[in-house]
A = this chain, B = another copy of it.
Amino acid sequence: MTDTTPEQYEAVLDAAVAAAPVLAATTPTTRAALLRAVAGALEEHADALVPLAVADSHLPVPRLRGEVTRTAVQFEMFADALEEGSWLEAIIDLADAQARPAPRPDLRRMLVPLGPVAVFGASNFPFAFGVAGGDTASALAAGCPVVVKGHPGQPSLTDPYAAVVAEALRAAGAPEGVVGVVHGDDNARRLVQDPRIHAVGFTGSTAGGRALADLAAARPRPIPFYGELGSLNPVFVTPAAATARGEDIARAYVASATLGAGQFCTKPGLLFVPAGSGLDKTVVEAAGAVAAAPLLNERIRVGWRRELERLAAHPRVRLVAGSPADSGADSLEVSPVFLATDVADLEASGSQLLAECFGPFSLIVEYRDEAELLRAARLFDGNLTATVHGEGPDDQPAAALLDALRDSSGRLIWNGWPTGVAVSWAQHHGGPYPSTNSLHTSVGVTALRRFLRPVAYQDLPDPLLPEALRNTNPLGIPRRVNGRLTTEPIG
């Protein structure tokens, strides 16, 4: 995989610019058909693409096959949303001569696409956060062409994956240039600073993401940077839950923390349990039963070794399970490592133990009483998720815990596990910083909103209005008319 040349780069960007007004002018129904064509093509070419993803990522075939389906389902979800029409946020205020403080003109607002956007995928989900992942699907749904920065961890998959998507779009009648790919670090920076790019979707490390976010903010005309940059995903077990089903929780915790060799942005990085709950034995047993698995690539392995050695050597932790000296030391193969500490030591360590360690690692933290538990819930800046295991709504600390966790969390989970991010209308995958834009999500229908901006039309003759705002409501979409939601036509 060689860097895209300057000439190729210009061609990709120019094609995206040329495609933008054509794509923006398609009706939601037409665009939905384009998305469904991509969904179909992904399933159709899965057998060809999955082996390439295996070669790049060492992830198992069934997992990657399921990921293709998830990616296709995501396109279908956005197609459904396009057809439903609420995403346009159509609002109509009819002229009102009696309005205070002054008579009001006819005002009609809707959302329109931003223009070409850049997408940086992640190595841990070659399909679902790759070339045609959630950022790309939501940008296309919004009507924005996409320029993908090819991930260096996906040298085999990226171009064939992009070719399948581009061919499906072409065959379905999309303009050329709706999805393009560029490779190379220099092109990554160029893309984020390119005046032809109007927003960036990024999934990856906090350091890399922040560097690009800073470039986006420093542009002469800054653009939104939607970075999903990591998370600790703490899990809190109430005393009642630990008593009632501590061993089950410990086993499920190990399963979640080691799923996909711990390479999920929603991996539970910390488990808070009551002191003396004696779950070490279960964790040791469960961790011992987890088969060694390869990390995604050598870059991830180097990061894993560095973080693991730092954490295992920390004076305020003790080893529960696994071998920090061995796991991944000689090859990509890693076995899980669990360390333990307590809330007092966690607090005393400052942020040293509150760092994401990408791989099959997690930290068990014992709390002595409810006050420590609630203090611990306030230790976090921003997480994609936080989880509470409790025994019913009357379990004393549960409500206070959820309340304390809300300020730092994008998703609050009850008696479950953060891994596995459902693709649906209500999903929210984001949260306070290090997510770089806490107002928006990278997964779920509302991810569309990131690539749209409002435009208001004042007193336009009906035929000059976009279809979404015309009196007859030709698209049949829900609109707010004089403050009331309705699908009815006007007049």
Contacts and interface: CB of A to CB of B under 8 A. Distances in A.
Given A80-B483, A393-B461, 14 more contacts: A93-B426, A107-B426, A213-B217, A213-B222, A214-B217, A222-B436, A410-B456, A411-B455, A412-B455, A412-B456, A415-B459, A431-B453, A441-B454, A446-B454
Contact of A455 (B91, B93, B218, B409): B409
A424 interface: yes
Interface of A: 66, 69-70, 73, 80, 84, 86, 89, 91-93, 99-102, 104-105, 107-109, 112, 114-115, 213-214, 217-218, 221-222, 224, 381-382, 392-393, 398-399, 402, 406-407, 409-416, 420, 422, 424-428, 430-433, 436-441, 444, 446, 449-450, 452-464, 478, 480, 482-483, 485
A456 B73 contact: no
Nearest to A74: B101
B420 A109 contact: no
A412 B483 contact: no
5 contacts: A70-B101, A221-B432, A222-B436, A398-B464, A414-B461
Nearest to A107: B426
Given A422-B99, A459-B414, A218 B222 contact: no
A146 B314 CA distance: 42
Contact of A424 (B107, B415, B450): B107
Nearest to A111: B439
In the A-B complex, list the 8 residue pairs whose CB atoms are closest, starting with the nearest: A217-B217, A428-B456, A91-B426, A221-B433, A393-B463, A107-B426, A109-B426, A393-B461
Contacts of A93: 422, 424-427
A438 B381 contact: no
A305 B45 CA distance: 66
Contacts of A440: 454
Given A221-B433, A456-B412, A101 B461 contact: no
Contacts of A101: 66, 69-70, 73
A110 B462 CA distance: 34
